[in-house]
């Protein structure tokens, strides 16, 4: 292997890592479902594909949207931060004009959701679940 070949390999690997990081921070993420609150739609241990750009471009690690082009719709399964700062996966049941939404688990007996902690600010939304594996 020559110097050019090694340099090209390093550039290719670096480019792939940077691309993967950008995709994970801004576009799509994967989560493993925990708990029973969304059964039967989502069972514990299932892998969730979360599309972060569904509602807008969010600055990673903050509650700030740089641009917003949509709001969650009724029945969307969304990933969001609860008022306590925990990550949660629930179904959007309604949107309020003041920029909040109500999130409920499908399994009401096992769900800690908006019935317990109230409406969620739209800025707490991380993304929408677009796939379950």
What confidence score (pLDDT) does residue 99 get? 85
Residues 6 or more apart in contact with residue 61 via CB below 8 angstroms: none
User: How many CB atoms sit inside 10 A of residue 75's CB?
Assistant: 8
User: Is a pLDDT exceeding 90 seen at residue 126?
Assistant: yes
Q: Which tokens sit at 95?
A: 């949107």
Please give the DSSP secondary-structure letter assigned to residue 20.
H
User: Is a pLDDT exceeding 90 seen at residue 54?
Assistant: yes
| Higher local confidence (pLDDT), 63 or 13 | 13
Please check whether residue 114 is in contact with residue 99, taking contact to mean a CB–CB distance below 8 angstroms. no
Tens digits of residue pLDDT in 62-119: 778 899 999 999 999 999 999 999 999 999 999 998 889 999 999 999 999 999 999 9
What's CA 11's distance to the chain center, in Å?
30
User: Is a pLDDT exceeding 80 seen at residue 3?
Assistant: no
Whole-angstrom distance, CA of residue 24 vs CA of residue 26: 6
The pLDDT confidence band at residue 1, using thresholds 50, 70 and 90, is low
Tens digits of residue pLDDT in 40-51: 999 999 999 999
What confidence score (pLDDT) does residue 2 get? 59
What's CA 76's distance to the chain center, in Å?
12
What confidence score (pLDDT) does residue 13 get? 95
What's CA 132's distance to the chain center, in Å?
13
The dihedral formed by the CA atoms of 131, 38, 24 and 12, expressed in degrees to the nearest 10: -50
Instruction: Give the end-to-end CA distance of the chain in Å, rounded to a whole number.
Output: 41
What confidence score (pLDDT) does residue 62 get? 72
Give the CATH architecture of domain 28-132. Ribbon (2.10)
């Amino acid at each position: 292997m020559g110097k050019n070949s090694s340099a090209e390999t390093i550039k290719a690997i670096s480019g792939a890592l940077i691309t993967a990081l950008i995709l994970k921070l801004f576009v799509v993420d994967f989560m493993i479902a925990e708990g029973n609150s969304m059964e039967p739609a989502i069972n514990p241990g299932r892998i969730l594909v979360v599309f972060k750009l569904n509602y807008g471009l969010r600055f990673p690690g903050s509650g700030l949207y740089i641009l917003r082009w949509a709001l969650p719709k009724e029945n969307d399964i969304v990933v969001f931060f609860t008022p306590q700062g925990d990550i949660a996966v629930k179904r959007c049941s309604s949107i309020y004009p003041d920029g909040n939404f109500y999130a409920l688990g499908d399994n009401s007996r096992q769900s800690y959701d908006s019935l317990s902690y109230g409406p969620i600010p739209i800025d707490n939304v991380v993304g929408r679940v677009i796939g379950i594996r």
